[in-house]
Amino acid sequence: MNQDGDRVVIAVFKPGGMKRVVRYCRAALEAGWEVRVLLADGHCWAKRWKLPPGVEVVSLREAERAVPVPWLYTAAVERVPGGLLHRAARLPGPLGRPFGFAARAHRRVAGALRRRVFWRVYGWWRPRTLRRLAMRRTDRLGLASARRLIVADDAAVPFGWRAAGRFPELEVTTAFDAEALTASPTLEPAA
pLDDT in tens, 144-190: 999 999 999 999 999 999 999 999 999 999 999 888 777 655 445 44
Q: How many beta carbons lie within 10 A of that of residue 41, not counting itself?
A: 19
CA distances from 134 to 61, 67, 90, 166 (A): 11, 13, 46, 13
CA distance 109 to 77: 10
pLDDT at 1: 43
pTM: 0.79
Model confidence over 17-75: pLDDT tens digits?
889 999 999 999 999 999 999 998 876 677 778 899 999 999 988 888 888 888 899 89
Which of 3-12, 135-144, 160-169 has the least mean pLDDT?
3-12
Residue 123's H or E segment, with its range, is: helix 119-135
CA dihedral 27, 40, 147, 159 (to 10 degrees): 140
